[in-house]
Structure 1
Amino acid sequence: MFIFIFLSVLNLYVSGCWGGCAEVDSLTEAVEGEGFLLGCISCKRREEVKAEAVVDWFFKPSAQENYSHIFQYDHPTALSPDPVFAGRVEWRGTLDPDIQIGAIFISNLTANDSGTYRCRFQRTLFLSLYNHEDIIEKRVELQVVAEAQRELTAVVAEILMYVLIVVLQLWLILVLIYCYKKISAEQEAREDRKALKAQTKLLDPDEDCDGIKTE
């Protein structure tokens, strides 16, 4: 879920920059009573070509066969024709006619919101000789659960994070010990050189206290 929140926030600030567009799949598990970001990304293959797109979302409950039209975004107009989703769906995608992120946020989820969501991009590419129409569809199987369940990958990632923190701390301690020993050794070497130099001066009969050799 974090990656789609990041993409949505990023889209608000850099909606005109698409060099980093990546088609990431949406998460598929939501918690009852909370909101959920349904992700749908369709990257334009040729950035230099001007284009416009309309995004439609459809929903089919788990026990039914027919889809209902729940949302449409045709910049800058957003519509929610299904009364079940009216007032609960917000556009979180591209704020520009050239839509590449078609994410929506659904609030106040219930168990009845479990099912298949279909996202459809109707894109028009304005080429030099003609306009090309393209339709891209993606599906998200959403399951609404009573309580959030931690995924195995999240648990493993958290364990690895703590292991990495411990390893880095041990490595830092070893580095500090090494640096301390090295500085101490250099300090002892300087003291030895000073003592040796002083001893050499004392043993040299041809040099007086002022460092001037006698005739």
Structure 2
Amino acid sequence: MAALPRLLCAAALALLLWAGFCSSVCVEVPSETEAVQGTDMKLLCISCMKREEVTASTVVEWFYRPNGGKDEPIYEYRKTNHEFPSRFSGRIQWNGSKDMQDVSITVVNVTLNDSGIYTCNITREFEFEIHRPLFQSSRVIHLTVVEEAGEDFTSVISEIMMYILLVFLTLWLLIEMIYCYRKVSKAEEAAQENATDYLAIPSENKENCAVPVEE
């Protein structure tokens, strides 16, 4: 009987792990805010939904505002994709997911003039039996386009640590080589001293040093 509670706990844990594995995970990750000129930049816009909200109809609107300017529509998703005439004409690609939780877009071949503020407006209409409420949310991205990619602080620290480790290993190897060289030199000196002492013994003493053989 004592094993029954353990078995039930193990079964419950297995069911929880299986449910977590089977269910999709949505994480609202902020978008990158720096792009390099001439590359493709994904403007990340994620708005997670609960399980009961999956049946909602979603409308997505993207706006761009240059520094010191006004918002202008550049892209819209309303059951179909629609790109507005703008400086981005022909350079915007839909990069969202089928469940409409990820409603990101990608700007192809960004230029220095593409720096500015991008706004992602999401409107969802839920289809419940009694009423049809609306839910609205926004994501704002301050994008800066640079000519060349700057070095990441983490990569700089990693490079410094690599050089420090390389210097440490070089010093350790040098010390080991010196230690081995001295050890071999001492062994050779000891062998030479023994050979010199042996040669310095008179020949008569050498014969006396021989071990007598018993008949």
TM-score range normalised by the length of the shorter chain: 0.5 to 0.7
Q: Which residue of 2 aligns with 1:134?
A: 135
- Which digits, 9 at most, give the CA deviation of each residue in 1:177-206, with x for residues without a partner? xxxxxxxxxxxxxxxxxxxxxxxxxxxxxx
2:148 is aligned with 1:143:
no
User: 1:39 pairs with 35, 38, 44, which one?
Assistant: 44
Q: Which residue of 1 aligns with 2:94?
A: 91
Q: Which residue of 1 aligns with 2:16?
A: none
Q: Which stretch of structure 1 is more off in the superposition, 48-57 or 134-143?
A: 48-57
In the aligned structure 2, how far is the partner of 1:73 from the partner of 1:36?
19
In the aligned structure 2, how far is the partner of 1:161 from the partner of 1:54?
49
Structure 1 position 160, deviation (Å) = 10
- Which digits, 9 at most, give the CA deviation of each residue in 1:22-52, with x for residues without a partner? 00000000011111000000001x2123212
Alpha carbons of 1:154 and 1:118: their partners in 2 closer, same or farther (altered >3 Å)?
Answer: farther
Identity percentage over the alignment?
A: 35
Q: RMSD of the TM alignment (CA)?
A: 2.4
Give secondary structure in 2 for the equivalent of 1:48: helix
More helix by share: 2
Q: Which amino acid counterpart does residue 34 of structure 1 have in structure 2?
A: T
User: 1:61 pairs with 58, 66, 78, which one?
Assistant: 66
Alpha carbons of 1:152 and 1:123: their partners in 2 closer, same or farther (altered >3 Å)?
Answer: same
- Which digits, 9 at most, give the CA deviation of each residue in 1:45-69, with x for residues without a partner? x2123212111100001132x1000
Q: Which residue of 1 aligns with 2:201?
A: none
Runs of 4+ that moved beyond 4 A: 158-163
In the aligned structure 2, how far is the partner of 1:73 from the partner of 1:48?
22
Give secondary structure in 2 for the equivalent of 1:87: coil
Structure 1 position 106, deviation (Å) = 0.3
Q: Which residue of 2 aligns with 1:114?
A: 115
Q: Which residue of 2 aligns with 1:210?
A: none
Give secondary structure in 2 for the equivalent of 1:99: coil
Unmatched segments (≥5 aa) in structure 1? 1-16, 167-215
2:32 is aligned with 1:27:
yes
Structure 1 position 149, deviation (Å) = 1.3
Alpha carbons of 1:154 and 1:138: their partners in 2 closer, same or farther (altered >3 Å)?
Answer: farther
Residue correspondences, number: 142
Give secondary structure in 1 for the equivalent of 2:113: helix
